[in-house]
Every structure is written in C-alpha cells, then in structure tokens.
Amino acid sequence: MDSRFYFLVLFCTITATVQGQSQRNIDAPMPTRQVHLDFHTSEHIPDIGKRFDKKQFQEALKTGNVNHINIFSKGHHGWSYYPTKVGKIHPNLDFDLLGAQLEACHEIGVKAPFYFTIGWSELDAREHPEWTIRNEDGAINAPGYDWDAPGDTERPTYLWKRMDPSIGTPYHDHIMKQVEEICQRYPDLDGFWFDIYHVAKRNYNSYAIKRMKKEGIDIKDTLAVERSHALALKAHMKDLRNLVAKYRPEATVYFNAVTRIEDASFFKERLFDMDTHQDLEDLPTTWGGYNKLPLDAKYHLQQGVPAAGMSGKFHKAWGEFGGFKNPDAIKYEAAAMISFGASCNFGDQLHPSGEMDMETYKNIGYAYDYVAKIEDYGPGGVPVSKLGIWLTLNEAADHGVVNMLLETHKDFIVADANNLNQLELIIIPSEPNLTKEAAQKINDWVKKGGKLLVFADGALNKDRTSFLLDVGTTYLKPSDFQFDYTVVKEGLTQDMVSTPFLNYEAALVTQPTNGEMLASIREPYFNRTYDKFNGHRETPYQLEDAPYPAIVKNGNVLFFAHPLDRLYYTDGVLLHRQLVKNAIDLLYEKPLLKVSNLPSAGRVSLLKQASDSRYVAHLLYGPPLLRGEVSVLEDFLPVPGVELSLEVSETIKEVVQIPEGTSLPFTQERTVVHVTIPTFTMHTAIVFKYE
C-alpha cells in the first residue's frame, strides 16, 4: 500500500472519530484546584497502603482545598492497586486501594480520575520484552541503561525500559483489556489519565517493522518512521478513547505529553486531539522554566478546549520524596496558571504506606485558598491580542520570540491561517516552516494592511533556496562568517548603542530590492581559526558597512537577517531584545493592551470572558533565582505604579481589582481606557466590565 494513501486513510478515520466524540468545550466546567498523586511503588517495599485511612485522606484534601485528584490504578513498576484478573495487583497490597480512594473522594465531592501508566511499565517489560520499543539495531530503547551493571549498582533516576502500545501490538490489546476491566469494576469513575507517550519518536521492533512494511515505509527515512510511529500511537489512543466512552461517555480522557510543542513529530500530527482537555505538564523549577506555560496555554486554549497547568510540590522534579517547594512559589505558579486561562494541578508523591503528607497539603492549601478567590477570572477566558506568533516547532526560535514578548509585556496569541484577519502584527520565527499556500495567504494579508516581522530563515522555503515572503530583499546565501556585528540606523535607535554590537551567529546574506535598510552589518576581518585569530574571542569588526543589510523595512514588513529569536533564547542579549521591541513598536500601532512600569520579570495576560461581558488583565511579578540547578521563587517585592491602556470597541462601565474587589478610577478616550494599578504583590487581576 502506498504510504501516503495509508496515512490519509488513518488520519481521516481518526479525525472522524474525534469529530463524532468531541473534546470538551472551553466553557465546560473543569476543576480548578487539582492534585496529581504519583504512586510508583516497588515490589521490594512491604505493607503497601497499610496506613491508608479514609478520614486522613479526606482531611488532606480538605486542608489542600482540592477539588480533583488523579489516583493510581497502575504505576510505572507495572503493579495495579486494585484486584485485577488482567494485570497483577501489587504483591504487598491486600485490599482495593484504588476503590477506597475513589470512595473517599466522592464522599466529599472531589473528582478522582484514574492514572494508568502506558509508556513505562517495568513488570510488563520484564515479562514481555518483545513489547518494548526497539532501537534501529534491535536493542531495547532505554537511554542510559547499563545492561552489564551489577545488580547493586546505583540506578540513574527516571530510567525505564520503553513500551510500545501502538495499534496492532499485544501490549495495546493488554491495555485495552485492563482498562475495560477497570471500567466494568468502577462504573462511577471520573476519567483516565494515561501517562508516558513522549518516550520515543521512532520504533523498530518487530510489530513496527511489520506495520511499516505494510505502509510502504522506507525504514531509512527518519521522518517517515517518526510519522508512522506517531499515527500508530494516535490510533491506539483513539481505541482507548472509544472504549472509555462506551462505558462512561462523560468521563475525561487525557494522554500525557502529547500536548508538548517541543515534541514536533507528535505535535504536528495533533495527537492531542484525542484528549478531552489538556494538562500542560511542566516543572518550571528544573525543566521548562517559567516561560513555558504561556505559549502552551495560549495555543491549546485557542483550540477551544480547557486546559490545566501542571507543576509539582517538589523542590526539583516529579516523584521526589521529602522535597518541598516554597509555599509562596506554589501560590505564584497557581496564580500564573489562572492568569493564562488554565486550571491548576500540582503533583505529589504518596508514601507507599498510603498515608498522606499533611505538610504538603498545608502548602498546596495555602496556594489554593488564593486560587479560590481568583479562579472565576481565568479558566473559561480566551487569550486575546492583535499580535500573533506563527509556530515553527523549533523550540529555540519559537521560545526566543516568546521570551522577548513576555519580558517586554507584548501580550500575544498564536497565529495561523484562520485568524489572520484578527491580527495587526504577526511575528515569524527563524525556522523555515511556511508552505507556499500559507506564505501566499500572509503576503495577501500584508497587502490588505497586515504587518509582519520576520526573523532570518523564517522567510525561506523549506529547501532554504529562496524567500517565500515579500520582505524587500532577495536571499543570496548563508554568511561566510561565524559571527558579525549590527549597526542600527534611523528609526530603531531607542535605547540602542550607536556603535556596532555583536551577534553570536552571522546574518543571512541578502540583496535589497525595494526595501529600506534600517540596520547594516559589519563583518569581522576574518573568522577565528587556528591559523588566523585575534585575542580571546571574536575578531573585531571592519570599519565599513557590508553591502548587505541587517534589517530591511518593506512597507508593513520588517525583515531581520539575524536569527535574533534563537540568539536571545541561548544568549539573552538585552540589545537584541530592545532592537526587537523597537521594531514591534514601529509596526504595532494599536495593541489591545499596553503596559507601562512593569519590570521585565513581570508577566501580563489578557483574557476575554465574553459570557461575563468582561476583559481580565492579569499581572504577575515573581523573579526566579537560579540556585544550583533549580529555579527558586522566594522574593516577592511590591510593584507600584503600573499603568494599563486597553483599546477595545466595547464601552467599559467599571474597572475592578481582584482579589480585593475594589473599583478603580479610570478614564476613557473614545475606545481607549486608562487605569493606574495600586501597588500589588505577586499577582493581581484587573477586570474591565463592558456593557
């Protein structure tokens, strides 16, 4: 069978299922104060669940002000926590712990979806090594696994053999039987949280090889192998989604890790369409950082489904016993989730004894008491802006743009071919991603008055041979230099130096056509080599400008020849950020929201809650400090004198500060509302009520 035809049939089948059994609407209620309760317990630990007590479990949830908790049906060690005939109950558990926890939750009105491991299952891998994902050489896919290490050797953290649940495998069938067993045993279940779908982009086990042969896939074609694996997983997810719906149509179903923008091979196949909602897993302390949530939340909320941010109570990472995050940091992270329109979920790790740690729930409760005061002003809201970023799925390029926008308080949404007419300005990062069709739509939109800012390779076709966008200059070649320097001309000089400044990666070489040069390039005298070098680092710049530009303005289009987005992501040069800010200010004349006097570590998010006839501008301030390998939030200083200007077509009748509920004085000049925010600490929300 031709592989293209197979992919088309499979995609259409999956899409039809999703359309017939849709995700939740974004307005549908989703619990706002959630906990994800890890419970991965070894067979070498005795007395599993011995100290579980329903009243103590309930008291912890009440102390934490929790209204939703994910509880474990099966964990990474492969053991189940209920009597099962399909899987195997933990050998040191002598009662139905899952059922007892579900009963405890439902008695106090707490939702309790079931966690079920997929991609890591030690018992299944041990008993059925043929079910594991394999590398191209046939070895089990388990990066970092020392197969020759003596049994008493220290084992690295997060090290598991990787399982293959793809459609058509015995492991998929095994999962289906066990999930059906759970559905039959617990007819009042709330949902499923299926874990670990990000562990491998490619698979070469016997089942995958057989499938790819049927599809006509060349197994030496890496991209084709990745796509085959992604779609086989998506088909597996479709079967699970349909199975759960058969028994419990209103149940939530979530497949973890398929929402991650950085996992491009899964993301572009939209595996996340199989979810009823999106849980945006992140641990900003040790991976992802505090700038990851905004882009993830904006993208997925724009898909029309609700989302929850996920962090942890841990100091470092998931499953850490005895690790405690500063309670104020949990509060900040929770406020940030609400600010960007998401519900809150914080991870905990239950002790094998089954006893809840009350100190953990005191800390979570401290944060969730605040969430209860502000939660009506986040989830259910839709991000709104007239500035959009076009996703390229290059993490450094996309997040380089996002970091600059967040730090300069230029609120944004995710641009695509369907929302161009809502936008005044689009930013395209420096990764060739545009199709000819998308580029033509953008070019036509610019001719109608749209404004465009493009970084370097983002204007190129995917072959990197020519520009698809009309940027006022013609692509010639990559630079011959390792690095170069920029000299800014008129129009972009606000808070810039007048002398040449360094770019750690050289610009594309282009020939201006009908564009105006706003910045030029100074080349170094030579590249740094063993034969020719100067001083410790970069060679100095020549004294005359190169004949090709650093920045070109072509009407409503600004083209940067340098990948300043990627450079800012890796190097964080403030001059680069200021230059981009100047360019945005030159083009972006009528933003919905303008923010003044907020420090760069502050964050802003504008949501529209149309059903409540209001806009909500959230402000956050909590600068993270890097201590060792962990980003710590500790110092929350008062922020005075922030000013907001909101330009909307509606007539604003009242401005209220949340959580205080205080009405604020404001002025309105035609469509622009001005308000000065009283001093706030950590977080505040400004509600603009309209008629």
- State how far the Cα of 403 lies from the Cα of 604, in Å rounded to an integer: 12
- State how far the Cα of 375 lies from the Cα of 29, in Å rounded to an integer: 12
> What pLDDT does residue 287 have?
84
- State how far the Cα of 218 lies from the Cα of 221, in Å rounded to an integer: 5
DSSP conformation letters of 54-93: HHHHHHHHHHTT-SEEEEEEE-TTS-BSS--SSS-B-TT-
Which stretches of the chain score pLDDT less than 70?
1-29
510, 481 contact by CB (below 8 A) = no
Name beta bridge partners: 617: 606, 686
Query: CA of 228: how far to CAs of 11, 132, 235, 546, in Å?
Result: 11, 17, 11, 47
353, 49 contact by CB (below 8 A) = yes
> What pLDDT does residue 39 have?
98
Element (H, E) at 101: helix 97-107
> What pLDDT does residue 190 have?
98
Dump strand ranges (E) for 386-436: 387-390, 413-415, 425-428
Q: Residue 441: which of 470, 413, 464 has the closest Cα?
A: 470
pTM score: 0.94
Chain position carrying tokens 């493009």: 454
Chain position carrying tokens 């190097």: 571
> What pLDDT does residue 358 have?
98
> What pLDDT does residue 25 have?
62
24, 306 contact by CB (below 8 A) = yes
> What pLDDT does residue 306 have?
95
Other C-beta atoms closer than 10 Å to the C-beta of 686 total 25
Q: Is 292 helix (H, G, I), strand (E, B) or coil?
A: helix
Q: Residue 658: which of 430, 271, 378, 281 has the closest Cα?
A: 378
